[in-house]
Chains A and B, each alone.
Chain A
Amino acid sequence: MSSSTVEKVRNIGISAHIDSGKTTLTERILFYTKRIHAIHDVKGKDGVGATMDSMELEKERGITIASAATFCEWQEHEINIIDTPGHVDFTIEVERSLRVLDGAVLVLCSVGGVQSQSITVDMQMKRYKVPCIAFINKCDRSGADPSRVIAQLHSKLGHNAVAMQMPIGLETDFRGVIDLLSMKATYFEGENGEQVRSDEIPENLLAEARSKREEMIDAASLFSDELTEAILEESPIPDALIMDAIRKGTLARKLTPVFLGSAYKNKGVQPLLDAVNQYLPCPADVENTALDLDHEEALVELLPDSSLPIVALAFKLEDGTYGQLTYVRVYQGTLAKGAVIVNTRTGKKVKIGRVVRMHADQMEDIEAATAGYIAALFGIECASGDTFVSPGLNLTMTSMYVPKPVISLAIFPKDNKSQINMSKALNRFTKEDPTFRTHVDEETNETIIEGMGELHLEIYVERMKREYGTDVETGKPRVAYRETITQRAEFNYTHKKQTGGSGQYGRVAGYMEPITEGDEDFIFDNQVRGGSIPTQYIAACEKGFLQCLAKGPKMEFPVTGVKIVINDGASHAVDSSDMAFQAAARGAFREGYGRAKAVIHEPIMKVVVETPTEFQGAVMGLLNQRRGMIVGAQDEGPMTVVEAQVPLGEMFGFSTVLRSSTQGKAQFTMEFALYRQIPQSIAEKIAEDVALRKKSAA
């Protein structure tokens, strides 16, 4: 791809709080860019559903679960859009999309403003340094107040938000927008708002528009000396100069241009598309790096040059009618039909069969995808997050941050057919979503699925039923408790079996202590001097200790945060072996653990409830009953936002209780915050549950 074309490519995401209308916005974008020829509503009565919600389940629930990538063209620019899910339980999807995107549109509701999910999404954008522009949607709704939302962008998200437009009327009177750059009023006419009409600014809004334009130019001037000079000299300011300054500010993430509209009422979408082209970065504007595995993971800069060797990242997998579809972002080189690429993780070489460009669930075959592009490949065996490179390269894209699961559930297939399909489904889901894991419990022989929340697992169970015809029953959700120690304890254990036949002998001595710095689960420190444990058995010792971590001696939960130091031991010329030292290490672990004051930790969730103010007392009561620690309550006019830290184990069924206590008017989001020690009374109850479960399994 030549540099002139890469400049006209935009890889963008549309991120927002659930229900702010991002799927509707995407639908309108596809309509105006002529990718679709009719508009369907998300919760539409026509039963078709929005085009981006390709999964049946999503259509039914009116939410977007998995990202669907699609491509469209606007004013000679090629735009790849990833529609991202809004619920926190699916943030791995949001994070993956942000990882491969160059820019994003942050959709906000003009009534709800900056909501809890917007804050989470914004934090993710910061983590991946994704520049964004904001779109304040639903300006036609009763209670719409874009200036309040802009103020919230400042106060809650710390954005230097600058209005690029001003509404002409609000709520049911919302007629169009004033472009503060061209100082023209823009109206959207025709059956679907496809005819954009430019007109003079209504007289009564002129003064306000002038003052807002001043504010906008003032903010932009920080990013352009030329613009500052023009202002000081009071000479006429060319639009291009302002646009250039705003683009600079946006790319540096120091300015967020704000646009307005109502996607549902077909207003304000086309100017937003112009803004995507104008202010969001092209692939060449963003610096991307990979890790060189041949040189101790040194950073290597990737260049959006199609003639260089290939580096591409598989960021999403989908199982379609024609086999596995792998969404890739090409960072360097050209992924062409017939080319040979290597999966860095597995080292396997594969030949590319088909390259397609996706449009929700329809596709279009292309010859090649060049640097900067997002495309999909057919028939490539890989996992999500894998890096593909040209043979000879050994690069991997920076690994994505993947949180550990906090909740698990046992699932039981009802019949043999379901058993087979369940395995297929689990195999695919675990490949698609790194936060979704599965294993078979050795003791109970149950299949356990693990994930980031109740809804996360529920959705997968439903998908199993719908997409794979698997009839499964589920057990009660279980919280991922952990064990850890609270004090240093010595051990000195001898494993000895010398009663006939070949004997076993090994002695391991040292101490264990809690890890106080960093978040490592296990540190093994060998301080044995003088060969009291021969070097060839040290690895066996470590293995022995590691074996004990999977199931803690206290309540059989995984053990974390333990540092083991071995400093002495003994061996026998004939009877010592790897096996003997592994057994000695296991014994030593049990001995030390018994004295190290082990405790149980539980996952604590950050719960944010948005409720009409009249129910805030009730909501706080609900959280308090669930052992929640309320951090604070924020008054947001008619709504109050209550933030609390609540143990995950107490959150089951919360959505039902919340609905019934607030007449269904409150909503909440929940995400993992930290692990904290559980109170003694609860620990006793858990111990009883564990004992009961073991008994029933036996």
Chain B
Amino acid sequence: MLKKELILRNPLRQLGFETEDILSAGAFGAVLAHAGVGKTALLVQLALNGMLRSRNVLHVSLKDPVNKVNLWYNELFHHLAGRYEGAQVNSLLESVLPHRFIMTFRVESFSVPKLEERLNDLTEQGIFSATMMIIDGLDFDESRRSDLNDLKALAVKNGIHIWFTVRSHRHEASGVDGLPVSFSAVAGLFDLVLELQPERADVHIKMLRGSGSTPVGSPLLLDPSTMLIKDQV
């Protein structure tokens, strides 16, 4: 019951995406924002939604240690399921955690061949086989193009879709498409780009590129106090 309800609270349904995976296998999605606005929180919510639907999520972090990433999941899950009793929530979380695998790298030592090697270690031994990947903390600019191409090939080969966090800088100008200039160079590889924009007390989630329908009625907002998508049902 709780599981069903949480699945229905797919954070992006108001952008026209229902309960199924937003991205198809091999596709790239990005969440764009300044530092500290809630990129990781949004992606962890997408990951939790996938895990609740028994999708395996590989969370790759280039900035946080395993414990901290784990904490994001625990905190957000408990916020999401806030009004249910503790034991029920804990046991549901316990049951979905095997659908997640965290891998952390130091930014300077991250490379696609290394990631592929790790991924193969997991799939060949039957330990974990991902259908969704999150890469948090990768820097984006033209020099990353070849890495991103390799990641695209990896995603297609393994039938997974990848979500990235993209950090934008306040001093950086936006191009005609609304994307930061440094990201524009590689934006062609992305099927969906969402932007988090703080406006007064809320954080607005805007779709800069993608095929979801335009939000109907009120805009999609992130609550800065819980880092959760605001319930507007």
Contacts and interface: CB of A to CB of B under 8 A. Distances in A.
Interface of A: 119, 155-156, 514, 516-517, 616-617, 620-621, 624, 629-637, 641, 643, 676
Given A155-B65, A634-B104, A641-B66, A516 B86 contact: yes
Contact of B66 (A621, A624, A643, A676): A643
Given A616-B121, A634-B66, A634-B104, 5 more contacts: A517-B85, A630-B101, A632-B101, A634-B65, A643-B66
Contacts of B110: 635
A517 B109 contact: no
B106 interface: yes
A630 B128 contact: yes
B116 to A, nearest CB: 13
A635 B102 contact: no
A632 B128 contact: no
What bracket does the count of chain B residues touching chain A fall in?
Answer: 20 to 34
A632 B69 contact: yes
A555 to B, nearest CB: 21
B213 interface: no
Contacts of A643: 66-67
Given A630-B127, A632-B66, A632-B69, A517 B87 contact: yes
24 contacts: A119-B67, A155-B65, A156-B67, A514-B87, A516-B87, A517-B85, A517-B87, A620-B122, A620-B127, A624-B125, A629-B98, A631-B70, A632-B59, A632-B66, A632-B104, A633-B66, A634-B66, A634-B104, A635-B106, A635-B109, A637-B106, A637-B109, A641-B66, A643-B67
B57 to A, nearest CB: 12
Nearest to A645: B97
Interface in B186-232: none
Nearest to A641: B66
Interface of B: 59, 64-67, 69-70, 85-88, 94, 97-98, 101-106, 109-110, 114, 118, 121-122, 125-128
B25 to A, nearest CB: 24
A514 B88 CA distance: 11
A514 B103 CA distance: 36
Contacts of B87: 514, 516-517
A633 B103 contact: yes
A616 B122 CA distance: 10
A663 B27 CA distance: 41
Nearest to A633: B103
Contacts of A630: 101, 127-128
Contacts of B122: 620
B212 to A, nearest CB: 31
A633 B102 contact: yes
A517 B65 contact: no
Most buried by B among A514, A621, A624, A633: A633
Contacts of A624: 125-127
A493 to B, nearest CB: 27
A108 to B, nearest CB: 16
A513 to B, nearest CB: 11
A676 B101 CA distance: 19
A596 B61 CA distance: 43
B127 A632 contact: no
A415 B210 CA distance: 79
A90 B67 CA distance: 23
Contacts of A641: 66
Nearest to B62: A635
Most buried by B among A617, A634, A637: A634
A399 B214 CA distance: 59
B104 A633 contact: yes
A484 to B, nearest CB: 11
B86 A621 contact: no
Contacts of B105: 635
A517 B114 CA distance: 44
A155 B62 CA distance: 12
Given A616-B121, A620-B121, A620-B125, A632 B86 contact: no
B44 to A, nearest CB: 14
B54 to A, nearest CB: 15
B142 to A, nearest CB: 25
A621 B118 CA distance: 12
A631 B103 CA distance: 9
Nearest to B122: A620
B61 to A, nearest CB: 9
A636 B122 CA distance: 18
| A-B pairs, 5 with minimum CB distance | A632-B102, A617-B121, A632-B66, A516-B87, A635-B105
B88 A516 contact: yes
B94 A676 contact: yes
Contacts of B88: 516
Contact of B70 (A516, A616, A621, A632): A632
A204 to B, nearest CB: 25
A636 B104 CA distance: 9
Contacts of A155: 64-65
Most buried by A among B97, B121, B126: B121
Contacts of B85: 516-517
B139 to A, nearest CB: 17
Nearest to A676: B94
B122 to A, nearest CB: 7
Nearest to A514: B87
A610 B94 CA distance: 25
Contact of B97 (A516, A629, A637): A629
A48 B127 CA distance: 48
